[in-house]
Structure 1
């Protein structure tokens, strides 16, 4: 495995680090921190939830305990309970929790307006770098763009993604150019779509989606040879499992095998 791939595998775990309990001068909060950090290791078990409650009782403004306590409810689909708990974490510490709540609204709830509210509020607090999604797949600026796309404002989405990609020290993530290419395709700019999708291949050549959307672009140009070539490539990659993946939800612009097979017919 290359160093880059190794970093990408580890990256999701680096988005939210466990707190350093030694920084708490209040002995009760330091104790609460240690309890919560230990409880996070068996998150989802009832005893873990009980320990988060102990931590919160010892240190009522310890936002980490609220956030981690909320996670099992999110994963089980109890979004009402999740929101009640995560809202408390955001209230205590918006800088560290708005991005997470906004991402979850986007990823799990498809609440694009709610996600925008959180992420744009975070932009006002942190003007330099609002961070990455919890799963490590996206910079949150790209998530903002995808929210605008999902709400029908594709031109703004394109502008936001291009702005993020133009930042000198920004490293494009695996799906950035894929989403940009699809946006261009949806707005009728086929040449820019092909340009962006080819750029995606230089970053990540392991997605059936990229070849599928390239095929659609070439079809619009009446280039049937490249249309078929890319579609067969998409089919081959899909059967090998080279596709957009998420452990919990359906990623935006993800495709499925019947879409490819219907075009091949």
Structure 2
């Protein structure tokens, strides 16, 4: 009989223990998982903190570090911390941060990393992978005022994949023109398509696209230069010299490609006065 009572008491104890476990209060969730909380940290440490100073000021980085100490999963803080490093050419350090930002928020930062690879570090294969991946996440989107196929076209142009570059630029133009086909095409798309056709020795097409670029932006130094080189390739030295001199004048007057970050990195096929003087010999 005593054994029966002990057995019953054991069952009651187990039942009571299980009941207590079932009603135990749940653990509080990590506030860093809340977008609203992350945004509040960005406002406090970035918008009202780092952005009050130049990115060359140590306090810029200190504010980014302060945010990450509170919440190490805010992608924007990594991207902002990388800004001074990118501008200073410290790419290895910068990309450790850019990689973390792209890992935490691919739709937001993958295309930006592709842009940096294409323009700053000339990692064209890596940039292609980034733009192809983000195009699946955000089809039809843009980065730095350009479509993803624009940057893919630049990468393939520089890699010598000219047929792929041609297909990329055609898609870039299609996206820019929009569903009704009436929107303007960026003058630098026209410029790079002209360069592509010069590479392909399709001189009529090269002249057509470079002339369209100059119609939109007459002082475009590179478009004038490469149009001059196109005429040189056809043996028309008089016309070539006119465009080469126009390129030289435009550069001397301060005209440039008019792209973001133009003062921190050279864009593909960007020229200096040295190239113009050599072509004028």
Shift of 1:29: 5.3
- The number of aligned residues is 238
Distance in 1 of aligned mates of 2:93 and 2:118: 17
TM-score normalized by structure 2? 0.78
- Provide closer, same or farther for how the CA distance between residues 94 and 171 of structure 1 changes in structure 2, counting only shifts above 3 A: farther
State yes or no: 1:56 paired with 2:56.
no
Shift of 1:101: 0.8
Contact 2:85 2:94 in 1 (8 A): yes
Residue equivalent to 1:251: 267
SS of the aligned residue for 1:60 comes to coil
**Contact preservation (8 Å) 1:66, 1:88:** yes
Counterpart position of 1:73: 85
Runs of 4+ in 1 over 4 A off after TM superposition: none
Match of 2:244 in 1: 231
- Measure, in 1, the Cα distance between the counterparts of 2:85 and 2:73: 20
Give the match's secondary structure for 1:25: helix
TM-score, normalization: structure 1?
0.82
**2:232 is the alignment partner of 1:219:** yes
Distance 1:264 1:128, change over 3 A: closer
Q: How much does 1:227 deviate?
A: 1.8
Q: Matches of 1:49 and 1:247 in 2, distance apart?
A: 22
2:203 is the counterpart of 1:186: no
Does residue 161 of structure 1 match 2:176?
Answer: no
Q: 1: CA distance between counterparts of 2:161 and 2:277?
A: 30
- For 1:30, the equivalent position in structure 2 comes to 40
Gaps of 5+ in 1: 1-22
| Preserved CA contact (<8 Å) 2:219 2:247 | no
Distance 1:90 1:257 in 2: 38
RMSD of the TM alignment (CA)? 2.0
* 5+ long unaligned stretches in structure 2: 1-33
Tell me which of the two structures has the higher relative contact order, counting C-alpha pairs closer than 8 angstroms and 6 or more residues apart.
1
Q: Do the aligned partners of 1:211 and 1:233 also contact (CA within 8 Å) in 2?
A: yes
Map of 1:119 onto structure 2: 131
Q: Deviations over 1:90-135 (max 9, x none)?
A: 1110000001111111111111111111111101111232x122xx
